[in-house]
Amino acid sequence: MKREHLIKPVLDRHYPTIEYGKGVFLYDDQGKAYLDASSGAVTAGIGHGVQEIVDAMLEQANKVSFVYRSQFTSEPAEKLAKKLSDSAPGGDYWAFFVNSGSEATETAMKIAIQHWQEKGRPGKNKVLSRRMSYHGITMGALSMSGHVLRRRRFIPLLEDLPVASPPYCYRCPLNKTYPDCRLACADDLETVVKRIGAEHIAAFIAEPIIGAAGGAVVPPEDYYKRIKEICDRHDILFIADEVMTGIARTGAMFGMEHFGVEPDLMALGKGMSAGYTPMAAALVKDHVMEPILNGSKSIMSGHTYSANPQSAAVSLAVLDYIDSHRLVESAKAKGSYLLNRMRRMAETIGIIGDVRGKGLLLAIELVSDRSSKLPFPPGLAVTSRIVDKAFDKGLLVYPAAGGVDGEGDAVIVAPPLTISEEEIDLLVRLLEETVREVMQEISGSDGG
Ligand code: PMP
């Protein structure tokens, strides 16, 4: 292998060099255009090359880019915290700024644990989660994640595998059917709580709509109300991991709005700064902060770049752009247009078992047999084939692990919220071509 210096995800693979981006397109140094139907990693929510954001970045850089949070605060950080609280379900949130979604979920976990310590209940220090979940790649976040493949190498360093059943109706892990199931998957959380003992549990964390670990899996409408009731009954804080679903992506500012639940804590990242700078946050309800405000008055966490004015100014500009361009409404309208187009496309493609999602967080799940929902053998690497073939055609889609424990195939489609209907038509045409060609390729192959 040629000696290089940058560690890329796959070391012997060629990655094109992108020269610039505009709107929903990225352009490489060979002049090839890519329709960014994944917003990178479901991040570039307002599209590429937005001048207002660059202006805001410059304006702040001309004042000051960095102040250390142990010494100073800044106007952009204060304003951003207030704006997030004002737009969050029920309001009344505090914001702890960090730099990535993984740091956001870990910070939420630490604050939940500290909350119970300050209340004189230090035994409540476990954070429960579900199988088929992803909360980040750092050790604490990975401990909470049920993403089997991403955990595998670090098992001895991680907490036990997350155990609560996911609300995955397409392939119910409890072999039930909604609504006859009466939300057995939500009640499964209570069974787990009883087994472990609520006196050991600080919080339960879940993605409102399951992203990388499942592919835009939307729970039944009444699922989270039941989850919150169970959490409240057992003095367990509910953390919504909105890293992927937050900030207009699903056709609501926060994914949890679809379910009418106000989480005790939330984790944000990705769309919060839409890829223009690293920025993420843990949002914490007043009542969770209260014992800390009355107790040690300091949260035992933080990063050098936390709450830096440069990233805060960028994120504020992104949120303003989302407001002024009515991108929540756009995600909803464009999302239903795209979902309908994808559903129509799937009717004639036998390997698409399910088309699902909300707003502009959508996915297809691939199966070898539609009626039995039998997944493809892992050796066929169907997800990678689709992602790679789409890439060759100039279409970017995002791989997800399908199946409860990552044994299936799913591909996320989540373009910038600014996408036009003509661009959606192009997206669907390229996606259809891709899936058809992959279907042709694997027919006759046993995946062995
Ligand atoms: N939580 C969720 C729901 C995510 O989708 C991700 C990223 N895919 C993370 C946490 C981790 O975020 P980051 O990659 O920014 O650390």
Residue 245 CB less than 6 A away from ligand 1:
no
Do 18-49+326-442 and 53-324 share a fold?
Answer: no
**Using CA atoms, how far apart are residues 127 and 280, in angstroms rounded to an integer?**
20
> pLDDT grade, residue 445 (50/70/90)?
low
Residue 211 CB less than 6 A away from ligand 1:
yes
Q: Is the pLDDT of residue 221 over 70?
A: yes
Tokens representing residue 355 in the block: 């088309």
Residue 105 CB less than 6 A away from ligand 1:
yes
What is the distance between the terminal CA atoms of the chain, rounded to a whole angstrom?
28
Residue 94 CB less than 6 A away from ligand 1:
no
Residues 44-67, mean pLDDT to the nearest whole number = 98
Alpha helices in 27-96 (DSSP H): 39-42, 51-63, 75-87
Q: Quote the pLDDT of residue 134.
A: 95
**Domain range summary for the chain, segments of one domain joined by +:** 18-49+326-442, 53-324
Contact at 8 Å (CB) between 115 and 300?
Answer: no
pLDDT in tens, 76-94: 999 999 999 999 999 999 9
**Using CA atoms, how far apart are residues 314 and 310, in angstroms rounded to an integer?**
6
Nearest-atom number in ligand 1 for the CA of 270 is 15
Q: Quote the pLDDT of residue 447.
A: 44
Pocket probe for ligand 1: among 144, 147, 243, the residue whose CB has the most ligand atoms within 8 Å is 243
Higher-confidence residue of 42 and 156: namely: 42
* DSSP, res 216: S
pLDDT in tens, 284-296: 999 999 999 999 9
Q: Which CATH number fits domain 53-324: 3.40.50.1110, 1.20.120.80, 3.30.470.10, 3.40.640.10?
A: 3.40.640.10
- Pairing status of strand 265-268 against strand 237-241: parallel
Q: Is the pLDDT of residue 114 over 60?
A: yes
Question: Residue 268 Cα, ligand 1 centroid: separation in angstroms?
Answer: 9
Nearest-atom number in ligand 1 for the CA of 105 is 10
> Nearest Cα to 339, choosing from 427, 221, 403, 245?
427
Q: Quote the pLDDT of residue 124.
A: 98
Q: Is the pLDDT of residue 446 over 60?
A: no
Tokens representing residue 128 in the block: 């429960």
Give SS3 for 360.
Answer: coil
Alpha helices in 69-174 (DSSP H): 75-87, 101-118, 139-143, 148-151
pLDDT in tens, 175-209: 999 999 999 999 999 999 999 999 999 999 999 99
Map tokens 């769309």 to a residue: 271
Instruction: Return the residue whose CA atom lies nearest to atom 12 of ligand 1.
Output: 101
> Nearest Cα to 192, choosing from 207, 176, 206?
206
pLDDT in tens, 130-158: 999 999 999 999 999 998 888 999 999 99
**Using CA atoms, how far apart are residues 346 and 296, in angstroms rounded to an integer?**
56
Q: What is the assigned CATH class of domain 18-49+326-442?
A: alpha beta
Residue 188 CB less than 6 A away from ligand 1:
no
Q: To the nearest 5 percent, what fractions of the chain are helix, strand and coil? A: 40, 15, 45
Amino acid at 214: G
> pLDDT grade, residue 123 (50/70/90)?
very high
pLDDT in tens, 258-284: 999 999 999 999 999 999 999 999 999
Nearest-atom number in ligand 1 for the CA of 101 is 12
Question: Residue 393 Cα, ligand 1 centroid: separation in angstroms?
Answer: 27
The ipTM, to two decimals, is 0.99
Tokens representing residue 379 in the block: 């050796």
Q: Is the pLDDT of residue 391 over 90?
A: yes
**φ/ψ of residue 361, rounded to 5:** -120, 90
How much is the pTM?
0.97
